[in-house]
Amino acid sequence: MSGVPGFKDATAIVGIGQTPFARRLGEDERTLACRAVVAALDDAGITPGEVDALASYTMEETDEVELAKAVGFGDLTFFSKVGYGGGGSCATVGHLATAIAAGQASVGVAWRSRKRGSGPRPWRDTTAQLPTPAQWTRPYGLLRPVDEIAMLARRYLHEYGGTRDHLFNVALACRNRANQNPDAVMYDRPLTREMYMTSRWISEPLCLFDNCLETDGALACVIVGRERARDCRRPPVWVHSAAQGLPAQHHGMVNYWNDDPLTGPAWAAARHLWKHADLTPQDVDVAQIYDAFTALVPLSLEGYGFCGRGEGGAFTEGGALEIGGRLPLNTGGGGLSEAYVHGFNLINEGVRQLRGTSTAQVPGAATCLVTAGEGVPTSALLLRS
Amino acid sequence: MLSPVTDADGAPFWEYAARGELRVQCCADCGEARFPPRPCCPHCQSFASTWRRTSGAGRVWSYVVPHPPLLPGYAERAPYNVVVVELADHPRVRLVGNVVTGPDAALDSVPPDRIRIGARVQAVFCSDGLPRWTLERP
């Protein structure tokens, strides 16, 4: 018998909402959070007074009390906050689905509100000691997330014969999908190989286009149980399987100190995700893979089982990530080209694909993998229509 | 430039480095080396540890070349190299550092195109208390 009785397809995402995405929005994070949550509840046809569960993740500045009193929630009986930045996005849905399936709540809202575009870069704050052990890295000038991931990316390309073209394939697929999505920050900005190859370095071997955007914006989604889901305004998108992943001896972004730094949290999350699913990677019609940096995508493709170890770079060849390819990816444009809101836009885009309403719709998409940040303790969702 | 903001577990590493010794924390019971330092051995759960001196020899496991925007002090030296060095004595212990021409040489004293994965390096000790690395064959 596979799967945990009571979790698989026991809950569904029935509402999604978001604000515009931009380098700078006028309203503050709390207001943006409220707008996204109200929009998601309206999309679901559920009144705020029915909400009894919340889930968010680190660096969320709008807390449960603020949101509940502003939007007008009822009694909350479950609320959780997941750690590790972009690794927590999918876990918000996972926690709510778990709580609802276990009877701890009935209507859950997950959200993310962030003014990263107009606000300060977290790495510039040298007084905040990061959860990663900064004493071993920052004095040497390994200062930013891009530096930390570039270190793994260099080793990855060296060990497996990957190329910058592989990373470009990721950036291009995201940009092409953003060019189809009027809500994407990069909607009207096509990318060419020449632009990529001649762009400025940020941290060699990663260039400007290997890095995600910096965006202001907020998103939310609504999760309910099976029975309630059938009565909502939109077709339910079922939470088929969900997982978090923190593998043994993992060190966060600077995962240089274990036996095998090129396998990370994706592998741990994937083992649980597939073990409890009726589906395999071959059944996935479309994927939303966390893309703070292009180099995270080949790692995630390997970790979630779309290809073998070291084959993630080659997997991107031949238009595999484009519409019509083996695995259409980040169909709203992802963090690289739609908006960087710590991956929550990947969840909402996964829902749109399974509703058939994406601006880059994969024909007949019935199964979507959504992942959170690789390179930090992570999470993932397997959604189906 | 940033100095290590150390903790009880990490402090001995920096104290030894300030004396010109590269030492790693090892379990006093099962002997396994562990990095970064921590209170308990993940192999045998012993809380007893010792700091074992290493030869200071290693190989470049990976490296990056940061470009601005960077923090003041670093931006002026960019592009510079940051390396991860795998220790010859303890292959699973990999230290972040810089390849420089010698003790107290600038962060950008070695051109990034001189660095290769696999290059042999040797620890040198700088007056800021940080161990750095020189190329065996510059």
Q: How far apart are CA A85 and CA A64, in angstroms?
A: 17
pTM of the model: 0.96
Whole-complex ipTM? 0.98
> Letter for the amino acid at A227?
E
Confidence of residue B20 (pLDDT cuts 50, 70, 90): very high
pLDDT, average across residues A111-123 = 88
Q: In chain B, which residues have their Cβ closer than 8 Å to the Cβ of A254?
A: 96
Confidence of residue A264 (pLDDT cuts 50, 70, 90): very high
| Cβ atoms of B95 and B89 closer than 8 Å | no
The pLDDT of residue A3 is above 50? no
Confidence of residue A130 (pLDDT cuts 50, 70, 90): low
The pLDDT of residue A131 is above 70? no
Q: Which of A57, A84, A196, A290 is catalytic?
A: A290
Which of A136, A146, A201 best probes binding to B when mutated, by most B CB atoms within 10 angstroms?
Answer: A136
Confidence of residue A102 (pLDDT cuts 50, 70, 90): very high
- Measured in angstroms, the CA of A272 and the nearest CA of chain B are apart by 23
Q: What is the mean pLDDT of chain A?
A: 95
Q: How far apart are CA A139 and CA B129, in angstroms?
A: 11
Q: Active site includes A290?
A: yes
Which of B1, B60, B62 best probes binding to A when mutated, by most A CB atoms within 10 angstroms?
Answer: B62
| CA pseudo-torsion sign B137, B133, B92, A150 | negative
| Cβ atoms of A143 and A123 closer than 8 Å | yes
Structure tokens at A313: 């770079």
- Position A61 scores a pLDDT of 87
Q: Active site includes A156?
A: no
Long-range contacts of B111-117 (CB under 8 A, 24+ apart): B112/A204, B112/B63, B112/B65, B112/B79, B112/B80, B112/B81, B114/B138, B115/B60, B115/B63, B115/B81, B115/B83, B116/B60, B117/A154, B117/A155, B117/A158, B117/B60, B117/B61, B117/B62, B117/B63
The pLDDT of residue A33 is above 60? yes
Superfamily of chain region A11-119+213-384: Thiolase/Chalcone synthase (3.40.47.10)
The closest of A181, A234, A217 to A41, measured between CA atoms, is A234
The pLDDT of residue A232 is above 50? yes
- Measured in angstroms, the CA of B45 and the nearest CA of chain A are apart by 14
The reply to whether residue A203 touches residue B61, judged by beta carbons under 8 angstroms, is: no
Q: How far apart are CA A108 and CA A116, in angstroms?
A: 25
Would you state the torsion angle of the CA atoms of residues A40, A44, A47, A48, taken in this order, to the nearest 10 degrees?
-30
The reply to whether residue B64 touches residue A151, judged by beta carbons under 8 angstroms, is: yes
B contact set with A (CB within 8 A): 1-7, 10, 14, 35-36, 42, 61-67, 69-71, 74, 77, 79-80, 82, 84, 92-98, 107, 112, 117, 128, 130, 132
| CA pseudo-torsion sign A40, A85, A100, A68 | negative
Q: Which of A121, A133, A142 sits opposite B82 (nearest CB)?
A: A142
Q: In chain A, which residues have their Cβ closer than 8 Å to the Cβ of B6?
A: 135
The pLDDT of residue A274 is above 80? yes
Domains in chain B: ranges and CATH = 11-135 (2.40.50.840)
The reply to whether residue B130 touches residue A200, judged by beta carbons under 8 angstroms, is: no
Instruction: Render pLDDT for A37-74 as a digit per residue (tens, 0 to 9).
Output: 999 999 999 999 999 999 999 888 899 999 999 999 99
Which of A121, A129, A140, A149 best probes binding to B when mutated, by most B CB atoms within 10 angstroms?
Answer: A140
The pLDDT of residue A91 is above 50? yes
Please give the residue of chain B at the shortest CA–CA distance from A203.
Answer: B66
| Cβ atoms of A167 and A156 closer than 8 Å | no
The reply to whether residue B67 touches residue A137, judged by beta carbons under 8 angstroms, is: no
Confidence of residue A122 (pLDDT cuts 50, 70, 90): confident
- Lowest mean pLDDT of A22-36, A117-131, A363-377, B85-99, name the range: A117-131
The pLDDT > 90 percentage for chain A reads 90
pLDDT, average across residues B34-46 = 96
The pLDDT of residue A378 is above 90? yes
Q: In chain A, which residues have their Cβ closer than 8 Å to the Cβ of B94?
A: 256-257
- Measured in angstroms, the CA of A5 and the nearest CA of chain B are apart by 34
Instruction: Render pLDDT for B67-109 as a digit per residue (tens, 0 to 9).
Output: 999 999 999 999 999 999 999 999 989 999 999 999 999 999 9
Q: How far apart are CA A284 and CA A365, in angstroms?
A: 8
Q: Taking the domains of chain A in order of start, what are their residue ranges?
A: 11-119+213-384
Instruction: Render pLDDT for A182-217 as a digit per residue (tens, 0 to 9).
Output: 999 999 999 999 999 999 999 999 999 999 999 999
The pLDDT > 90 percentage for chain B reads 93
Would you state the torsion angle of the CA atoms of residues A253, A254, A260, A266, taken in this order, to the nearest 10 degrees?
0
- Position A129 scores a pLDDT of 56
Q: How far apart are CA A203 and CA A194, in angstroms?
A: 19
Structure tokens at A105: 């709540």
Q: In chain B, which residues have their Cβ closer than 8 Å to the Cβ of A126?
A: 2, 71
